């Protein structure tokens, strides 16, 4: 039985805990929070009877895996600490702010004979395999990805109160918290990127709230991305080729996939495999499989996606500075 510790008390950790209950061979054994009282309330809410700690050292004898869902800016140091303690590390996206940091973490994992993976839902879903197979058949040249979600913290943002996700040190706004989804999905589907163009709207503290990004892949496919944490998106994403167009909804969960055929002028809904309601099941199961089989090549493959995506986010940030940006409010 692999014992899991968690860092964080947000909704994503509750979702992860539910996934742990569905994956065979794992159990949550320890919760970390800077506030013991907050952690106790969280444990009660999630029907957990586990060890609760407010320092990392007290976790070490009680866990095999650490799931890190702290603010983005804390991921690197926390992951490095636990890898050096020879613990398996699953980090919420984005794994780090800098590609070089994740490259270093990968080296630390290898040196300590443990495994490291970014928690990135879409590419582990059964629906992703269906999407990938259809993409491979159609030879696309253009894609438009929409990833727009109204932030639960917008009330505070509108009052110029920027915390957590919108903090310039800990979160970095839509650039790292939301844009990672379409960027990493594009890398997984279409391969490495050779050129990046980007513009954004920024909050008064300099953090992104809306992004428009254009990627040119080495395959010469162009991916156009519209990303916002200030609006609810209702448009599907599209992948275009000469004879077919793939349409898919909810980029982070891949809820439906359809294919329009230009030659027949018909749209076909693609049947998707039955899935667990909790989408985090698949990434956790995959990580457990990597651990149980000692599959370092699979760890490397997935980290290559993560590193490539973070490199693109770094390029987006540089390109925004070159192009100039507008204050959102």
Count other C-beta atoms under 10 Å from residue 325's C-beta: 16
Q: Give pairs for 273-281: CB < 8 Å, separation 24+.
A: 273/126, 273/127, 273/130, 275/125, 275/126, 275/127, 276/22, 278/15, 278/18, 278/19, 278/22, 279/121, 279/125, 279/253, 280/15, 280/16, 280/18, 280/19, 280/119, 280/121, 281/19, 281/22, 281/23
Closest of 12, 4, 196 to residue 119, by C-alpha = 12
Q: Where in the chain is the domain with CATH 3.30.360.10?
A: 123-275
pLDDT reported for residue 254? 97
Say how far apart CA 87 and CA 151 lie, in whole Å: 33
pLDDT at 297: 98
Per-residue model confidence (pLDDT) at position 319: 85
Q: Kindly state the percentage of the chain with pLDDT values over 90.
A: 92
Residue 326 is predicted with a pLDDT of 54
What architecture is domain 123-275?
2-Layer Sandwich (3.30)
Q: Please report which helix (H) or strand (E) contains residue 200, including its range.
A: strand 193-202
Those residues of the chain that have pLDDT short of 70 are 323-329
Q: What is the pLDDT of residue 61?
A: 97
Residue ranges, comma separated, of all CATH 3.40.50.720 domains in the chain are 2-119
What's the pTM value of the predicted model, to 2 decimals?
A: 0.95
Contact in structure between 156 and 163 (CB atoms under 8 Å): yes
State the CATH architecture for 2-119: 3-Layer(aba) Sandwich (3.40)
118-139 residues labelled b (16+ CB within 10 A) or e (exposed): bbbbbbbbebbebbeebbeebe
CB 213 within 8 A of CB 196: yes
pLDDT at 77: 98
Q: What is the pLDDT of residue 327?
A: 56
């Amino acid at each position: 039985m692999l014992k899991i510790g968690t860092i964080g008390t947000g909704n994503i950790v509750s979702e992860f805990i539910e996934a742990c209950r569905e994956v065979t061979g794992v159990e949550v054994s320890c919760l970390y929070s800077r506030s013991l009282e907050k952690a106790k309330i969280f444990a009660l809410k999630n029907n957990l009877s586990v060890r609760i700690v407010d320092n990392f050292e007290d976790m070490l004898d009680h866990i095999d895996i650490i799931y890190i869902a702290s603010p983005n800016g804390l991921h690197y140091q926390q992951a490095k600490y636990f890898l050096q303690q020879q613990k398996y590390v699953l980090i919420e996206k984005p794994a780090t702010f800098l590609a070089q940091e994740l490259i270093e973490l990968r080296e630390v994992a290898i040196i300590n004979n443990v495994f490291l993976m970014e928690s990135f839902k879409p590419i582990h879903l059964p629906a992703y395999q269906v999407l990938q197979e259809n993409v491979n058949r159609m030879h696309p040249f253009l894609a438009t990805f929409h990833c727009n979600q109204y932030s639960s913290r917008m009330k505070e943002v509108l009052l110029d109160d920027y915390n957590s996700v919108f903090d310039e040190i800990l979160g970095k706004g839509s650039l790292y918290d939301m844009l990672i989804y379409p960027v990493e999905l594009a890398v997984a589907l279409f391969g490495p990127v050779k050129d990046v163009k980007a513009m954004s709207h920024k909050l008064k503290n300099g953090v992104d709230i809306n992004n428009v990004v254009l990627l040119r892949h080495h395959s010469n496919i162009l991916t156009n991305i519209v990303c916002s944490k200030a609006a609810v998106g209702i448009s599907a994403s599209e992948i275009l080729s000469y004879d077919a167009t793939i349409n898919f909804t909810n980029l982070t969960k891949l809820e439906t996939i359809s294919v329009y055929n230009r030659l027949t002028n018909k749209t076909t809904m693609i049947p998707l495999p039955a899935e667990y309601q909790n989408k985090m099941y698949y990434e956790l199961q995959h990580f457990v499989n990597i651990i149980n089989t000692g599959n370092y090549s699979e760890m490397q493959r997935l980290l290559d996606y993560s590193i490539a995506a973070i490199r693109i986010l770094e390029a987006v940030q540089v390109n925004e500075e070159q192009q100039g940006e507008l204050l959102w409010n």
